Structure formats: C-alpha cells, structure tokens
C-alpha cells in the first residue's frame, strides 16, 4: 500500500518508518528543508532509540523515502496521514490547527482517485468534520474520506509502542475507508493489537480523554507525595500499595516534579477549552492543570530550600533536562521552570543531559553551563538535583559524587535513590514524598 506521511516529527517519522517496516511504501514529507536534507543524508533529526537502524533498513529496502513537496507522494497514495504539530494556541490554550488545515488544503489540491486522509495529529473533537469542509471547498470533485487515527506512542519507546500498541483507534463510518485502514493495520493483527473502530468524534475524544486521565493519575500521586511529606509517609509505598489494586494499576504512579512534554500540557488545556465551549466543563482536568503548574513552580523553591548557602553565588548541578528519559524533547520540561527559577535567584546552573542538551540550549537561559557527564556536572556544586531519571544516573558512584561536590546535598526529584544510600554516606537528602526517609520497603 502507498502511504504519504505529512509531518516528519516524533510521530510522523516513527509511524511512517514503522509502516514501511510492515511492508508498505511510505514517503515522509516535511516543510522543514533542513530536516529532509538530514534524513536524505541518513541522519536522524530526533533522538529515539532504535529509529536510526529502522530508517536505514527501510530506506535501503526502497520502502521509505523523504520529500519536501507532497505532490507526487499524495497523488500515488491510498492513505495520507496528517502528523503535523498541534501546539497550544497562544492566549487561549486551544489547539492551534493552522498546520493541520494547511496540510488538508494542500492534500485536497493534488489527491487523485479515492484517498483516505487520516489525522494522526492530536486534534479536538469535530476537526474531522472541519477538514471535510476545507477539502470540499478546496477541491469539490476530490474523492476523499477523512478518518481519525490518534497516536498513542510514547517518546523513548515509540517503536515498540507503535508495533505493539495497547490498541489502535480508528474513527470512521465510511465503509471504503474502513477497509483501507483495516488493510493498512493488518500487519499488527499478528501482534494481537486490538483495533477499535469508532465514529470519528469518539475517536478524537478518546485521545484527549486518555492523555487527560494519565495527567490526572500523575497529578494525583504528586499530591499524595506532598501529603506524605507533611504527615509522614512514603509515596513510593503508597503508589505500590494502591497500584497493586487491578482497578487502579501501577503505571503512571511515580511522583515527580510535575508532568511536561509535548502532549499532556497542551492536550489538557485543549480539552478544557473544548469542554468549556461545549458548556460541559471538565473540572477535574482544570484542577489537574493548575496543580501541575503550581508544582513545577514549587520545585525550584524545593531546591533553594535544600541549599546551605545563599542562592546568589551558589552553584547547582542539574542532572537531566528532557521531560523524560530516552528522548531529546524539551517541550514543557519541568527542568525549564526549575532552571529558570534558580537563575532568577542568582544561582549558577551547571547541567548535563545524555541527549537533550542541543534542544535545551534553545530554551534554557544562556548562562547555563553545559557539561560532558554527571560527575563533571557535579564538580564544585553546592547541590545536585536529579530532574530526569535517565538510566545513566541510576547507579552513580556516590562516593565519587560526594568527592566532587562542594557540598554533599542531593535533591532527587525522581526518587531514583533509596534515601538511606545517600544519608548513610553523609549526604543531605531531599526526595519527593519521603516523609519517612528510611522505611522497611527500601
């Protein structure tokens, strides 16, 4: 099957490559000329484990190519995906659909024969209907069906998630489109992935409801962490104790500095706006977004409180900058708030991230000093803060760390170290939701 993928970012590049690995012929298209040039040179513009190999193999097999112009690929394609960005619109939090609308117009003008246009971008309920109007206006004769097929992959585990998804959601009531989508995803049936066909609005809503629910789960455990700190309790044990209940589940119950990333912050806001306008506000999610913003702001204060010296003139080493491990994505990372609030108080920030420093330079204050590794980062610092739980930070030589730090103070915002490991070596320790730093479960 011929597939065109419009937008070659985290979602477009991974899903396009995985479709080609299933045997389809895929052209990934992007307006960003630099990105396509790099891909054509065999370079991968994002960090995603395993993606470089998969791209290379499928390019070599002649099933995957890249272009800046969509005309040829869309003409030939039976399925055209829209996987462009849908960031928050400045000012009101709505999803900015200008890239999606522009892509739909361009597709309409060149599509030939029956073409299924699929929104893989996360788009508010009703967008599919709007796209039908846009396409009809741009090309009244075009034979196009608009389908919703939201993407649930997680950066850092994107290939595995795409190939072995918990489910595939396809929103369409058009029988021809359903047949095409079923054929496209047939290779996944070997992996026993449930394919859920729904009406289009429902499919669009499923994506927002999923992300909002996950954001709520994280925020719930973060509030439990705060409570543990006040009343005495260990949030990791609380999480385990509730997570073993099958109705709750153990995933997304890791207390931390607040959720960030390219999806949860913008998708919760967009859902709130949709719901408010529909006269059916999602008050739980309104609270979740407020609690999360407050939390991210509070994390800088937590670090400042841990310092034994005045902030002005102090040095803080920040380990981990990306919003989660195994990605270079800095979008809405809690590190941005933390670093900014430290710099605002006159702190010198040293930082290290295994993959995110290139992106971090674009969004962090220019005074941040980037270092080449965890120990180099800690060198001479009055405090070490772990912001992202990269594997590389999980087994640091604590004695070496202590010897390079100016003051042995650690703020572990991901609870990757048992407090006792640090306290027994003479570190001053602050974690998340550790009202009892040494409990029997450690």
Quick one: 262 or 388, whose CB is closer to ligand NAD? 262
Q: Does 21 bind ligand NAD (CB under 6 A)?
A: no
CB of 155 to ligand NAD, least distance (A): 4
Q: With binding defined as CB under 6 A, does residue 127 bind ligand NAD?
A: no
CB of 38 to ligand NAD, least distance (A): 11
Cβ at position 108, least distance to ligand NAD in Å: 13
Cβ nearer to ligand NAD, comparing 11 with 170: 11
Catalytic residue chosen out of the listed positions 18, 28, 263, 383? 263
Contacts of ligand NAD in 201-230 (CB under 6 A)? none
Report the site for ligand NAD in 245-274 (rule: CB under 6 A).
Answer: 262-263
Stretch that binds ligand NAD, among 2-10, 141-149, 180-188, 298-306 (CB under 6 A): 2-10
Name the segment binding ligand NAD (CB under 6 A); options: 19-27, 148-156, 313-321, 333-341. 148-156
Contact with ligand NAD (CB under 6 A) among 122, 127, 148, 415? 122
263 is catalytic: yes
Among 4, 5, 11, 319, binds ligand NAD (CB under 6 A): 11
31 contributes a contact to ligand NAD by CB under 6 A: yes
Per rule CB under 6 A, is residue 128 in the interface with ligand NAD? no
One of 3, 54, 80, 84 touching ligand NAD (CB under 6 A): 84
Total residues at the site for ligand NAD (CB under 6 A)?
A: 26
Q: Which residues, 157 to 176, sit near ligand NAD by CB under 6 A?
A: none
Query: Cβ 145 to ligand NAD, closest distance in Å?
Result: 20
- For the chain, the three-class secondary structure string (H helix, E strand, C coil) is CEEEEECCCHHHHHHHHHHHHCCCEEEEECCCHHHHHHHHCCCCCCCCCCHHHHHHHHHHCCCEEEECCCHHHHHHCCEEEECCCCCECCCCCCECCHHHHHHHHHHHHHCCCCEEEEECCCCCCCHHHHHHHHHHHHCCCCCEEEEECCCCCCCCCHHHHHHCCCCEEEECCCHHHHHHHHHHHHHHHCCCCCEEEECHHHHHHHHHHHHHHHHHHHHHHHHHHHHHHHHCCEHHHHHHHHHCCCCCCCCCCCCCCCCCCCCHHHHHHHHHHHHHHCCCCCHHHHHHHHHHHHHHHHHHHHHHHHCCCCCCCCEEEEECCCCCCCCCCCCCCHHHHHHHHHHHCCCEEEEECCCCHHHHHHHCCCCCEECCCHHHHHCCCCEEEECCCCHHHCCCCHHHHHHHCCCCEEEECCCCCCHHHHHCCCCEEECCCECCCCCCCC
Judged by CB under 6 A, the residue of 151, 204, 328, 355 near ligand NAD is: 151
Residue 103 engages ligand NAD in binding (rule: CB under 6 A): yes
Catalytically annotated residues: 263
- The residue ranges that bind ligand NAD (CB under 6 A) are 6-12, 29-32, 35, 83-86, 99, 102-103, 121-122, 151, 153, 155, 262-263
């Amino acid at each position: 099957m011929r597939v065109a993928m419009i937008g070659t970012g985290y979602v477009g590049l991974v899903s396009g490559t995985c479709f080609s690995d299933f045997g389809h012929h895929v052209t990934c298209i992007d307006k960003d000329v630099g990105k396509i040039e790099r891909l054509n040179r065999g370079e991968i513009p994002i960090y995603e484990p395993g993606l470089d190999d998969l791209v290379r193999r499928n390019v070599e097999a002649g099933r995957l190519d890249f272009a800046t112009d969509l005309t040829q690929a869309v003409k030939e394609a039976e399925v055209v995906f829209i996987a462009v960005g849908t960031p928050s619109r400045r000012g009101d939090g709505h999803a900015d659909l200008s890239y999606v609308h522009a892509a739909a117009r361009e597709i309409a003008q060149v599509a030939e024969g029956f073409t299924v246009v699929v929104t893989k971008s996360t788009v508010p309920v009703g967008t599919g209907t709007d796209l039908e109007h846009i396409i009809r206006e741009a090309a009244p004769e075009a034979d196009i069906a608009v389908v919703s097929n939201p993407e649930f992959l997680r950066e850092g585990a994107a290939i595995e998630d795409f190939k072995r998804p918990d489910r595939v959601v396809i929103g369409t009531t058009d029988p021809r489109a359903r047949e095409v989508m079923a054929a496209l995803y047939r290779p996944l049936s070997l992996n026993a992935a449930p394919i859920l066909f729904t009406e289009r609005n429902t499919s669009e809503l499923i994506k927002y409801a999923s992300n909002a629910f996950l954001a709520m789960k994280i925020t719930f455990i973060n509030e439990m962490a705060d409570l543990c700190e006040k009343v005495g309790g260990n949030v990791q044990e609380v999480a385990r104790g509730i997570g073993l209940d099958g109705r709750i589940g153990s995933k997304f119950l890791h207390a931390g500095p607040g959720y960030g990333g390219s999806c949860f912050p913008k998708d919760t806001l967009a859902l709130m706006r949709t719901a408010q306008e529909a006269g059916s506000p999602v008050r739980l999610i309104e609270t979740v977004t407020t609690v999360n913003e407050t939390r991210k702001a509070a994390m800088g204060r937590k670090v400042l409180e841990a310092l034994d010296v005045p902030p002005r003139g102090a040095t803080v080493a920040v380990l981990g900058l990306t919003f989660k491990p195994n990605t270079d994505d800095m979008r809405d990372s809690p590190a941005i708030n933390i670093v900014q609030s430290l710099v605002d108080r006159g702190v010198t920030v040293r930082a290290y991230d295994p993959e995110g420093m290139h992106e971090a330079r674009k969004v962090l204050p220019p005074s941040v000093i980037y270092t080449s590794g965890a120990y180099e980062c800690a060198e001479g610092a009055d405090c070490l803060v772990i912001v992202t739980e990269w594997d590389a930070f999980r087994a640091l030589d604590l004695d070496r760390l202590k010897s390079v730090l100016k003051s042995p103070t650690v703020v572990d915002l991901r609870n990757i170290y048992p407090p006792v490991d640090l306290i027994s070596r003479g570190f001053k320790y602050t974690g998340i939701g550790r009202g009892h730093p040494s409990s029997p479960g450690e």
